[in-house]
């Protein structure tokens, strides 16, 4: 019951504490990829902890450490005899776990289905109004507003308007499109879809709300960094200034938008990248968040397993 209590308490505490703790991480702009992984690990650890709490309540801790045969036997007993044969909390725990899984799956399907439908409609519009430019490897749309964005998906494509082409130099256009290609190759739309799924599944949870905001910002920083490997940062920055007022479709990832000016300052005044030790510490934190709930759930059973075999070995 100790492991279950910890696993139940952790999501409540983490949902309040982690967004404040991670939100104060000043290093995030220096390593957006690592920061993205940390936010995702934090959100995942909360959901997994809830599911493992049900696991810890439903399956006796002593069973976990005695091999797969005993574990599957315990699970079979639950299925054959129902929760009435175990503690009363078992039925509640299994119901909570099932409801959490069903809720997350339902919201994920809804988010992905809606986004896919919106992208399909927009792609049909682009097929009528746009033209593919092989030199730019992008769809060009005759539109006065200065826009550059990507339409993600299986057949993702970068889109730029004639208004943007008229206001940007060829080098700036190449830098902006490199930013959009970074979104497509990195499948950043799936990062946002995962964050949106958790917000819809568990509305009002501070961690999930803050994660959605931070992940939307961090993927833009990451795309800037990827583009900066091939193009001067000043070109990306000046292009962002020209695109700052443009608003891409809600289901697309645009180079401009509300974060453009803050990103310009970051591009023109780049901070020193994280050192090796700092990156290792961040990676350790990601691993701790991902493995922590499972370790707590398995620890009582493993302790029982080790104690049992030590006693046998010592002849006690």
pLDDT, averaged across the chain? 81
Mean pLDDT, to the nearest integer, of 154-179?
92
Give this prediction's pTM.
Answer: 0.83
Provide the pLDDT for residue 87: 52
- Dist. CA 214–CA 192, nearest whole Å: 10
- Dist. CA 74–CA 71, nearest whole Å: 5
Residue 270 Cα distances to 239, 286, 292, angstroms: 17, 25, 34
Asked if the model's pLDDT at residue 90 lies above 70, the reply is no
Give bridge partners of residue 148 from the DSSP assignment.
Answer: 160
Return the percentage of the chain with pLDDT > 70, whole number: 78
What does the DSSP 8-state code read for residue 60? -
Provide the pLDDT for residue 60: 54
Residue 216 Cα distances to 7, 194, 209, 220, angstroms: 29, 11, 11, 7
Poorest-confidence range of 189-193, 233-237, 307-311? 307-311
Residues with Cβ < 8 Å from 167, sequence gap 6 or more? 146, 242
């Amino acid at each position: 019951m100790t492991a279950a209590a910890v696993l139940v308490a952790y999501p409540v505490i983490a949902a309040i504490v982690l967004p404040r703790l991670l939100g104060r991480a000043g290093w995030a702009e220096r390593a957006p990829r690592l920061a993205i992984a940390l936010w995702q690990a934090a959100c995942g650890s909360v959901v997994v902890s809830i599911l493992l709490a049900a696991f810890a309540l439903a399956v006796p801790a002593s069973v976990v450490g005695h091999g797969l045969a005993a574990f599957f036997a315990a699970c079979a007993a639950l299925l054959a005899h129902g929760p009435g044969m175990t503690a009363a909390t078992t039925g509640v725990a299994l119901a909570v776990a099932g409801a959490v899984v069903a809720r997350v799956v339902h919201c994920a399907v809804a988010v992905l289905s809606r986004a896919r439908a919106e992208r399909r409609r927009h792609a049909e519009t682009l097929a009528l109004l746009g033209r593919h430019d092989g030199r730019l490897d992008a769809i060009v749309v005759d539109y006065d507003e200065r826009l550059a964005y990507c339409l993600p998906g299986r057949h993702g494509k970068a889109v730029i308007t004639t208004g943007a082409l008229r206001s940007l130099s060829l080098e700036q256009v190449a830098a902006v499109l490199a930013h959009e290609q970074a979104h497509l190759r990195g499948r950043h739309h799936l990062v946002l879809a995962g964050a949106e799924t958790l917000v819809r599944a568990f509305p009002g949870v501070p961690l999930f709300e803050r994660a959605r905001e931070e992940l939307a910002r961090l993927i833009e920083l990451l795309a800037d960094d990827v583009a900066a490997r091939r193009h001067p940062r000043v070109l990306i920055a000046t292009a962002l200034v020209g695109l700052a007022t443009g608003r891409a479709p809600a289901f697309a990832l645009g180079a401009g938008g509300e974060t453009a000016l803050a990103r310009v300052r970051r591009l023109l005044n780049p901070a020193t990248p994280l050192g090796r030790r700092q990156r290792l510490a961040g990676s350790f934190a990601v691993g701790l968040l991902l493995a922590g709930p499972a370790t707590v759930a398995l620890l009582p059973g493993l302790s029982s397993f080790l104690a049992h075999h030590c006693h046998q070995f010592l002849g006690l």
